[in-house]
Chain A
Amino acid sequence: MSNWAKGLGLICLAGLGGCQAPDSTSTPTDTRHYGYGQPVSAMELSSWDIDVGPDGAGLPPGRGTADEGEPVYLEQCAACHGEFGEGMGRYPALVGSRESLTTDRPSKTVGSYWPYATTVWDYVNRAMPFGNAQSLTADQVYGITAYILAMNEIIDSDTEMNAQTLPQVRMPNRDGFITATGTDIHAPVCMTDCVQEVKIVSRASDSALARQGE
């Protein structure tokens, strides 16, 4: 029995769906083992396997406080995100707007919107600073993460962030997300006399964005 067949068996037994028969006219046989890939070791993967899960899985050794992260933030991040995380131009704000999500102009900052502190670490580590990604040390990423959390008054400036403490940080919007299951829109099908009043309420010719042009 191939690895694949074993894997498929597991999934079907677990009742997770997705094990319907493939369309034989358009897909190759799934049970054939080709063996063109080569084994890859944990050592080889270590430089690429950078993801951090919400439970902290993947966080490397290291540490940092907001006080230690502040100078790194000011050097590496403030030019785009502002000295206080307020954002510059179209670069996103990182701080504040806690009560904005139900307003007409919500602002999705780390403090107002992000559900997990681990995501801040993961994103700074994988993609920041913009223009020189994956150049920070683990300690620097812990320090910057701590500084962003402290600016949002989620932790104190001397609280150490490390692989144990970071996943325990409870973000203000931790319960703000609903996993989508099926559609939330159920529109009717109507063919005649469907609308009582047809009224134009906005026009591109009145729009400031359209005037801003290309």
Chain B
Amino acid sequence: MTRSKSDKHPEASARRGFLRTSLLGGLAALTAGRSQAEPAPLPVPPWTHHPGAGVGSAPYGQPSSFEKQVIRRFLPWMRATRESSVSFTPLADLHGIITPSGLHFERHHAGVPAIDPAQHLLVIHGLVEQPLKFTLQDLLRYPAVSRVHFIECAGNGALEQRGAQLNKVQYTHGMISSSEWTGVPLRLLLGESGLRKGARWLLAEGADAAAMARSFPLDKALDDALIAYAQNGEMLRPEQGYPLRLVLPGWEGVANVKWLRRIEVGERPWEMREETATYTDLLPSGKARQYTFIQEAKSVITSPSPERPLPGKGAQVIKGLAWSGEGKVKRVDVSFDGGRNWRTARLTGPVLDKSLTRFEIDWDWNGREALLQSRAIDETGYVQPSYRELRAVRGTASMYHNNAIQTWLVHADGEVENVQLG
């Protein structure tokens, strides 16, 4: 007869014994004080008796009908038209680091074009040795690269710059999403066209009815820029640029040009409307910072949040998201007293470059009001600022690149409110 494992490993046996005792103790504590009546057997629902839908009844599967509230939302009063507006990702309802493609936030400048890929081309021209045109089929033949990156609108949090405004994390932070993007490195295509002397900036232009165009430096093109045709394993969604988009990892969303049709190589930036009149950060001096591409380190607690009140006092797992446009998230700290004291949270992984990163921290809530904050630090050492620190430099009219620390006021009843501290 073989010996049991516990005989071989008396320490493990002792540990299991301890666990068993403490679990039983916990159960005893749970049941103490409850009714002594024997509870009824657990119900056996109809779906356990009868078969469900057969294969092929949903050729393209949809979320459970019980998840209908998990949708992108928009604010009708926010912009002049829905075609030039924004919809927000429901961050409080999501898990892990991938945003489902259908829930990726939207920002369009002239609606979502319905592009026939057979009629779409990408051209690369300007200061190149050979101007080239590529069909989607051409691009699919190149070596493919897949990387997980967030895309965040530079205007994420813009409405909050003068004070706490909107009482949902979906609205305060929902202009960020994260996907696995697949495509061709831009530097590979620039290798195909060659570069001519003087090449330093590129213009990326969309095929939408805004012909949305942005300049960006050649360094980024040669570093990690991607001409993406796929998102989370399937071709791009129309809202995310089908059939082609530029992905500039970690850089403001608007520079990740959707419905990409053209890349021109030149010597200097083009000073397009969306890099002068808009997407520039106006400072208290009246001067504006321009070409502020990088979405600097930021984080937010998604549970609890206005959409996720605390169910009762006692043990809580605080959960949230952190990210940095400059690399990996190194650390996230959480405060429960409005930033007076901080504890370091655990990163639950995966921790990827320029990607959403999950953090969690345990907290025993005593049922009294609390002010919850999170603070991201990235691998460059950059520290997410408080509103006080951000406003000291940028004032309250800079509109874009608001990465200030969010404060949630947990009320005694567990409800959560968006507030700002002085």
Contact = CB atoms under 8 A, between A and B. Distances in A.
A202 B417 CA distance: 11
Interface stretch (B58-66, B159-167, B309-317): B159-167
Contacts of A48: 123, 205, 261-262
A67 B194 CA distance: 46
**Majority secondary structure, A binding face:** loop
B392 to A, nearest CB: 9
A10 B123 contact: no
Contacts of B106: none
B276 A115 contact: yes
A90 B80 contact: yes
Contact of B333 (A33, A191, A204): A191
A71 to B, nearest CB: 24
A128 B116 CA distance: 23
B252 to A, nearest CB: 11
A40 B133 contact: yes
B341 A191 contact: yes
Contact of B132 (A2, A40, A179, A207): A40
B327 interface: no
Interface string B345-387: 0000000000000000000000000010000010000111110
Interface string A197-209: 1111111111101
Interface residues of A, number: 97
Interface of B: 73, 75-77, 79-81, 83-84, 109-110, 123-125, 129-134, 138-139, 141-143, 145, 147, 159, 163-167, 185, 187-197, 199-200, 203, 205, 209-213, 218-223, 261-262, 264, 266, 268, 270-273, 276-278, 280-282, 284-294, 296, 306, 333, 337-342, 371, 377, 382-386, 389-390, 393-394, 396-397, 409, 417-422
Interface of A: 2-8, 10-11, 16-19, 22, 26-31, 33-42, 44-45, 48-54, 80, 89-91, 101-102, 104-106, 108, 110, 113-116, 118-119, 122-123, 126-127, 130-131, 133-134, 176-180, 183-195, 197-207, 209-210, 212, 214
Given A178-B288, A207-B167, 6 more contacts: A16-B218, A35-B192, A37-B133, A119-B276, A200-B371, A214-B73
